[in-house]
Amino acid sequence: MFKLKNLLKPASFLENIDNKEHKPQREALKILKYIGPGLLVTVGFIDPGNWASNIAAGAGFGYQLLWMVSLSTLMLIVLQHNVAHLGIATGLCLAEAATIYVSPKFSKIILLSAMGASVSTSLAEILGGAIALQMLFNIPIPAGAFMVIIFVLIMLFTNSYRLIEKIIVGFVSIIGISFFYELHLVNIDWAAAGISWVKPSIPEGSILIIMSVLGAVVMPHNLFLHSEIIQSRQWNLENDQVIRKQLDYEFFDTLLSMLIGWAINSAMILLAASTFFKAGIKVDELEQAHSLLTPLVGKSAGVVFATALLFAGVASTITSGMAGGSILAGMYKEPYDIKDNHSRLGIGISLVVAFIIILFSKNTFKALIFSQMILSIQLPVTIFLQIYLTSSKKVMGKYVNSKYTTGLLLFFGLVVTSLNIMLFISFFK
């Protein structure tokens, strides 16, 4: 395995990170130092694509698809912890490890498909922010999308990672508070919701929405991103005790962050189920959801909905851009570094190509739904890549997956693959 000291991220990426030996501190304060990377991943699965998928799920099928949020979040916790494990133990992100340890013929195909997933993600994020600007200020979608991209590029090219992290944490808080505020305005059948969270159900005509929810929660670009940004917390990684402590703290960060995401995604379905489904209203546009909330729930609900969507769109566009930069840099065996041309090019490809597609999209809501479906189709490729790398002693050394972990990851990979097969079969019915 590579010497970890040679694989640490450049100073530009680890700005203001304390690389000194650990000093005795209270455990609670130590844990707080690790909170952040997981929340950057969380904002990726409470993005506008999730809004479209979750609102479609709640409006079309009531509480019945809440189980998919629970299953997806459980899968996400295991997958994100495992890929963060890779970053901590090797000093490599998923894209770098793929380039180094996988045959060039296969690694290029895999990483190009991952870049495609990053573009698909950025499309949903940018579009969501543009839709929110249209709701709030009546700005046309193309102009709103351009404004979102310019703001995100300024953030990524002029601010340090740690400042971006703090901003994202603030955005997640605003989104969560907004939805929990809206939930208190409606009547929820908690008994039915409780059953639906744990009881799988596939209503007729729901497979596309199920796949969209899956692709919106377990997102390929987040697996690449988490393995990169977790290394902002690396301290003295030649010390085995420090590595093991970091793995423990990282799991706490991942678990907490994913549960926050589960709660917010569930709140979206609950809101749609208790308003649109209850009223028998089919929702096929986010703008429609915004306009209908006012007469059904109250004037404040529509404004809060649009404001939260704007924060979600901007925040998730930042992380999707970072993921694109990390993937392309990894293809050249380089870490993400905003001062590096490959990282900048990756960001540019992810955002600009998505913007061009938006300009030619006639139905924004369908574009959001299908962008999430594309993510679910690429997801098995990333999952099996991750399993291959983290189950290899050559890559992970003594931190290689246990047989139990590998088995669980393989099971999740097969579940995702099976759902994809069901999706393709549904198109021919």
CATH number where 72 lies: 1.20.1740.10
Distance, in Å, from the CA atom of 234 to the CA atom of 22, rounded to the nearest integer, reads: 11
Residue 102 falls within a domain, yes or no? yes
For residue 158, pLDDT beyond 50 = yes
DSSP class of 355: H
Phi, psi values for residue 15, rounded to 5°? -55, 130
Number of domains in the chain: 1
Give the structural domain span for 237: 4-10+26-427
Residue position matching structure tokens 């929660």: 217
Give one DSSP letter per residue of 110-122, joined into a string: HHHHHHHHHHHHH
Is pLDDT at 182 greater than 70 in this prediction? yes
pLDDT of residue 15: 39
What tens digit of pLDDT does each residue of 382-418 get?
999 999 999 999 999 888 999 999 999 999 888 878 8
Predicted local confidence at residue 428, as pLDDT: 55
Q: Is residue 95 part of a domain?
A: yes
Location of structure tokens 């085995």: 240
Range 185-202 average pLDDT: 90
pTM of the model: 0.78
In terms of residues, how long is the chain?
Answer: 429
Name the residue type at position 177. Answer: I
What the block records as the tokens of 354 is 């998505």
Specify if 16 maps to a domain: no
Give 82-140 pLDDT, tens digit per residue: 998 898 888 899 999 999 999 998 999 999 999 998 998 899 889 889 988 998 899 99
Does the residue 253 lie in any domain?
Answer: yes
Is 71 among the domain residues? yes
* Residue 18 covered by a domain: no
Inside any domain, residue 21: no
Distances (CA, A) of 198 to 70, 192, 212: 7, 11, 19
Q: Is residue 20 part of a domain?
A: no
What residues contact residue 381 under an 8 Å CB cut-off, 6+ apart?
110, 113, 114, 220
pLDDT of residue 21: 41
